[in-house]
């Protein structure tokens, strides 16, 4: 890896971490597009890499801050985490079975719908 690539990765990681700690997003919204556009990754490679980053305790300090302020419902975390585990497995199998262009389009539509709902409200 050259110095420029390492620099880009550090910037992507910092921005994703800041977004994750600030509004609970970062991996899919920032890392995936950045890996595709800046580093030429395929959609599948970018998604796999983003998920692998989340596998490590990268959000531990942000979670600690929210926990200290009493802002985490651990029962809800347990239920969502169990469902997320199953959904992540099934979703990754489905994504890998489709062409990268199809997955990229689905990803874009989901981001667009989410953005419109956030901007316009209900």
CB atoms within 10 A of CB 35: 22
Number of structural domains, the chain?
1
pTM above 0.75, yes or no: no
pLDDT of residue 21: 72
pLDDT of residue 3: 95
Name the residue with tokens 């992540």.
Answer: 88
CA distance 49 to 54: 9
Q: Which two tokens stand for residue 6?
A: 């390492």
User: Domain residues for 106?
Assistant: 3-120
Closest listed residue to residue 59, CA positions, set 92, 79, 31, 94: 31
Low-confidence ranges of the chain (pLDDT < 50): none
pLDDT of residue 80: 87
């Amino acid at each position: 890896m050259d110095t420029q690539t390492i620099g880009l990765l550090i910037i992507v990681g910092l921005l994703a971490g800041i977004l994750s700690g600030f509004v609970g997003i970062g991996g899919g919204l920032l890392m995936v597009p950045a890996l595709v556009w800046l580093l030429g990754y395929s959609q599948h490679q970018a998604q796999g890499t983003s998920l692998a980053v989340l596998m490590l305790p990268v959000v531990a300090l942000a979670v600690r801050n929210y926990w200290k302020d009493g802002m985490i419902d651990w029962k809800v975390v347990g239920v969502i985490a169990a469902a997320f585990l199953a959904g992540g497995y099934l979703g990754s199998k489905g994504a890998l079975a489709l062409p990268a262009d199809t997955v990229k389009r689905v990803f874009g539509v989901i981001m667009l719908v989410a953005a419109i709902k956030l901007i316009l409200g209900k």
